[in-house]
Amino acid sequence: MNMPTSPHVLLLVPPLTIIILIMFLQIQTTTSSLSSPKQKPFILPLKIQTLPHGAVSLPTPSSHKISFHHNVTLTVSLTLGSPPQNVTMVLDTGSELSWLHCKKLPNLTSIFNPLLSKTYTPIPCTSPVCMTRTRDFPVPVSCDPKKLCHATISYADASYIEGNLATETFFADGSAQPGTIFGCMDSGFSSNTNEDSKTTGLMGMNRGSLSFVTQMGLPKFSYCISGKDSTGVLLFGEANFNWLGPLKYTPLVKMTTPLPYFDRVAYTVQLEGIRVGNKLLQLPKSILAPDHTGAGQTMVDSGTQFTFLLGPVYTALREEFLSQTKGLLTLLNDTNFVFQGAMDLCYRVSGSGSNSGRVGLPPLPAVTLMFEGAEMSVSGERLLYRVVDDVATRKWNNDLVYCFTFGNSDLLGIEAYVIGHYHQMNVWMEFDLVNSRVGFADTRCELASQRLGI
């Protein structure tokens, strides 16, 4: 999912779900040997890509969300076409339709060229895929002058990208998936020029019928996000590793009735409570569940960097964390500084004597997110994020600035709880589509990558 942030930087792309407004269609997709139960799982490296400061913004899966700027993405590399072309795609569990840049634009260096592929097939506007009207496309698909299916994807920051829907053969781990539907985008306006220049496109991974994992017909996928300088892993298929340990599972929440603020193809789980240290926050159960409009769902999103909570819950967490860290950390005390537009609990930490800018933080109380049947504990360095901002550093006499890695959804106009990838770091995340559940287990992702040969 991608969401809005302030000019102060960083959300894992598609941040709070980059609002990619996409089609929700019931389509019979082609299955290949990849969906065979005898097919071995296959693995791709998952990389954290850091972009220039204040670089990008992307979409999110609902029109009521706002845009944001970020400079971190999770990317995977694979090939498609005949002969195969290499592409790099942003991994986004909050988006559905995958798309690629198919025309060289200013500042764009990474593209897919459909003219060089024998298996590229544009979808005609008479196709059921093109003729179906859905609420997720703000601008309905239409016919271009060549009678091909033309689609426009709008972003929350008023940027957009457009092109033709098409099918192509995607390759992963030596296996082919022909007839995969994607967007071959050749024009548009984007403020994400730095990101666009380094990635070819976006891999939509939610539960919608057009998502990459749905079209591949796979029962589950997993990923493990390493630290900034390490390679993680994206695994399609079963993950039976004796070194991984048991996963804790929480069921996916399903909503059969269409509601204006509920994304029915997101990976939605039920948040039941939050602990700070050993203290349980006193929160009414009703505020943690979707209301009659669908607002208040909890989404697991690789396209958002940090975690965002609805206003009253964020305020309760903020006050309790402040109380338990009093005397351990020095508050920034600058009401004009709000990191990424939604994170207003920041601290000054002395960086003297450290040429690398790395300092030792005091022991901090863990924040535990409690779900139905499982818990996720956020501790240590994942609780605070260092703001890399030269202006801020000069303003506070070269002290380092760290911000609490939970933000206020209300400040972003987001009617949801969103669990971003920063809090999924060094956690094996499994998305089980057959059993409708999400599983996770603490691990060291760089070691997992090494064990899997990456």
Catalytic machinery residues? 92, 301
- The DSSP 8-state label assigned to residue 294 in this structure reads S
Q: Which helix (H) or strand (E) holds 445?
A: helix 445-451
In whole angstroms, give the CA distance from residue 98 to residue 95.
8
> How long is the chain?
454
Q: What is the b/e burial string over 123-135, where b = at least 16 CB atoms within 10 angstroms of the residue's CB?
A: bbbebebbeeeee
3-state helix vs strand vs coil in the chain, percent to 5: 15, 35, 50
Q: What is the b/e burial string over 317-329, where b = at least 16 CB atoms within 10 angstroms of the residue's CB?
A: bbebbeeebeeeb
In whole angstroms, give the CA distance from residue 205 to residue 22.
12
246 φ/ψ angles, rounded to the nearest 5 degrees = -70, 140
Q: Which of 449, 431, 419, 433 is nearest to 3 (CA)?
A: 419
In whole angstroms, give the CA distance from residue 158 to residue 194.
17
In whole angstroms, give the CA distance from residue 296 to residue 293.
9
Which residues fall within 8 angstroms of residue 187, CB to CB, at 6 or more apart?
A: 103, 105, 161, 162, 163
Q: Which helix (H) or strand (E) holds 272?
A: strand 271-276
Matching residue, tokens 């863990």: 366
Structure tokens at 111: 């593209």
